[in-house]
Structure formats: structure tokens, C-alpha cells
Amino acid sequence: MIMSKIGYKLFIIISLISIGGLILTLFLVNSQVENHFKEYINQEKREEINKLVDVLEQKYQEEGVLELDENLLDNYISNQNIIFYFTNKNGELIYTNLRTQGRRQEDFDLESANQEVLYDQNSNQIAYLYWQLPGRHRVETVQQSRFIENVKQTIFFVAAIIIFISLVVCLLISRHLTSPLLKMNKMAAAIARGDYHLRVKSKGNNEISELGDSLNQMSDRLEYLEKTREESTEDLAHELRTPLAIISNYLTAIKDGIFEADASTIEEMKAELGRLERLVNGLEKFAETEKKLIYSKLEKLNLKNVIKQSVANFRKQAENKGIKLYTSLEDSLFMRGDSDALKIVFNNLISNAIKYSATGDKVKVKLTKENNMLVIRVIDEGIGIPKKDLPYIFERFYRTDKSRSTKTGGTGLGLAIVRKLVRAHNGEVSAKSEAGQTIFKVSFPPLP
């Protein structure tokens, strides 16, 4: 597996920290092993020497003399590899084994030596026994020295194993952390080339997975917008071709003398120009929708408030046309979305419901929660939609019939915009027209 540059840096940093910490620990442990072992030996010898002190104190109480010689040491000290310096309370030397240890008196430091005080029966100090193991960092026997060496070798061996394991773990962690970044880099490069098909798998709940999700969403949007652009270009060419062809034919016929440039002919060409103008205006709205999809700002919304604002925009229009506009909106139904985009959805649906309704008809807007979805219904009693047209009404530039589009001046883009915005909010929109009613149903997932 190839590792990224940041992966190598991460590997080096983690390795240095791990190995540095291990080396410091190893140094401290290694430096303390012999000291603690020396303290252990000292404690062991102190217990033996305390027994010797008790014997000397008892002997002084019984015989009134202070005496320490090799015989006493042999009886109470298990190993004679200890330096003794025995003085009376005035500091006068009574006994020392410096010579038997092959050392001079200058080699013995009273200040750093262990001191034991002897007392008489009245707790008066009568003598001092100084002792120490030979050398500051030496242990007492060959066996003990070998033990220290074996411990040190074991520590170094374990340290080597831990360093090896640390390097392997650091390598695996670095690859694990940077592998998604490599995939994201590859995906970003593909997007830059115009290829929007790659996706990254986001695992866990961290900033890297969130970056992967954002990159996937960006690629989804770009792929969707690129597909929309291609389809829109084809549809636009088709829609423009008809009025342009009609105007061109009229102009050619006038030029050839087939038609006269009378008021009727000019009115026909003006009607086609009006159609072109409405189409361009619709395309501008469609472009604004695309822009809103890219730059939409999702936030927590109370859907009831958004719908009430849209309904308020059309109350005057409904009253002027003699249409009764009703609402039935449940409280506290929240979702995450862009309020401006959602207003475009509801404005289109309510506007269409009023446009295709007659005086005395009713238009109802309902908001409920059904099957864990927020459901909005816009219901009108207008002219209805032919059953054969229902599957296609959300397609761009689709109109149910020519007479209806001529009368209303529609471009066939309004419902396409509605579907685009609804799907951008992970929702669905559908329509049915039966029993004298046309119902547009919009569903959104609620706020988790």
C-alpha cells in the first residue's frame, strides 16, 4: 500500500515520540535497577547487623566491654564482603576490617556509610558501628552481579521488541489514517478532470469521515448539475427551435411574397417572440434554482412557519379571484433545509393551484406527520391534470396541452424546479388528479 507524504510525516512523528518515550523509560529503569537492588541488599544486611548490634549491647551490659572481631562477624553476618568501622562514643577506633578487605582507611567514608548506634541499659550512647558495601555501584557477589546483568539484558531485549512493535503499529496507524486522504485526493483529481463517478467510503465519526461525506456530496451535486446542464441544453435547443423556425418561416414567406406583412402575420410572430421571452425568463429562474442548490444553507426550520409565509403571499391573489384558501398545519414539525428554496417549492404549488382553479373553488394546504415523514399536501378543485400527463408533469418544458399553456403562458419549468429543490432536501414530490381534485404531495424527512 502506498503511503502519502503526510502519512510518512505522521509515521516519523509518532515513531519518534514512541521510541523517544521508550528510550527515556529504558534509561530510567536501567538506572534504577541497580540502585534498588543495592538498597535491597543493604536492607538485608541491615537486619543481620541489627542482630549483631543487639549481641554487642547485651555483651556490654553483661561484661562491661566493647568488643567486635572476626568471630562475631562470622556468627552473625552471612557474607563478610562488608566494610566495618567500630568506634566508641568518643570516636576512637575499636575495630575495622579494612585491611582484611584489602583497603586503606582513606577508602572508607564515614559520612556516607551506614551508621548503627549502640546503647547501654540506660539508653546512653556507648559506641558507633559504621558499615557499607564495598564500592558505590558494586554489588556484593558474582551471583548478584550476574543477576543484575541478566535483568539489564532482559530489559534491552524487551525494549527492542517494543520498538519493533511500535514501528509496525505506527506504520499501520499512519496508513489507516492517511488511506482515506489518498482516496479523497484521487477523487478530487478526478473531479478536476470532470469525472464525477468516484466515491470514497466514510467510516467512523470524525473529521476525516466528515470530509469524505462532504466530498461525496459535492461530487453528487456536480454530477447531477452536469447531467442537468447537458439535458437542459438539449431541451433548450428543442424548445427554441420551434418558435425560431416559425418566425423564420414567416420572414421567408414575407420576403418571397407568399405572405403579406399585415397585422395578423405580425401578431403571430409577436406571439412566438413572447413565447421565447417567457422561456428565457423561465430559464433564468431555473438558473437561480441551480445556484441555490449549490450555495444552499441548511438550518433547522419549523416547517409550519415556512408554509404560512408562502400562503400569506397568495391570500390577496386568491381573494381577488374568488378562491377560498385554507390551511391545516400541525405545530412543531422541524426539518433541516434552506427556507428560501422551500418557499420556492410552496410558492410554485400554491400559485399553480390558484391559477388552475375557478371562482368559488377551494385550495387547501395541509401539513401532517405520517410514517415518520413530514407531509405537505396542496389540494385544488381546478381543471385537473389528464391521467396520461401525470407521469411527465415534473419534466422540464413539459406542458399538458397546448391550449392550456397558451392561456396561462407556462414554460414547463415550474414543476421541474419544484422536484429539483425537493430532492435536494432528500424529499419526494408526487401528484394525482381524480374525483374533481388535484393533490400535490411533498414529503421531507424530519429533523433527527
DSSP per-residue string spanning 160-173: HHHHHHHHHHHHHH
Smallest CA-to-CA distance from 344 within 415, 253, 248, 444 is with 415
- Ordered mean pLDDT values, 10 residues apiece, the chain (448 residues): 63 76 75 71 79 86 82 72 84 80 66 86 88 59 68 77 79 74 78 78 72 79 70 65 78 81 79 76 66 67 93 92 93 89 90 91 94 94 87 73 43 80 90 89 91
Ranges of each domain in the chain: 200-295, 297-448
Distance of CA 162 to the CA centre of its chain: 30
Looking only at the bridges linking them, the beta strands covering 437-444 and 373-380 are antiparallel
pLDDT in tens, 242-273: 678 778 887 888 888 787 778 877 887 887 78
Q: What percent of the chain has pLDDT over 90?
A: 19
327 contacts 358 by C-beta, under 8 angstroms: no
Residue 302 pLDDT: 93
Residue 311 pLDDT: 93
Count, residues in the chain: 448
Residue 94 pLDDT: 86
| Cα gap 178→164, rounded to integer Å | 21
- Look-up of cell digits 469524505: 212
Residue 402 pLDDT: 42
CATH 1.10.287.130 fits 200-295, yes or no: yes
- Cα-atom radius of gyration of the chain, to the nearest Å? 48
Secondary structure of residue 91 in the 3-state scheme = coil
Smallest CA-to-CA distance from 439 within 359, 376, 367, 388 is with 376
> pTM value?
0.45
33 contacts 139 by C-beta, under 8 angstroms: no
Residue 405 pLDDT: 42
CATH classification of 297-448, choosing from 3.20.20.80, 3.40.50.970, 3.30.565.10, 1.10.287.610? Answer: 3.30.565.10
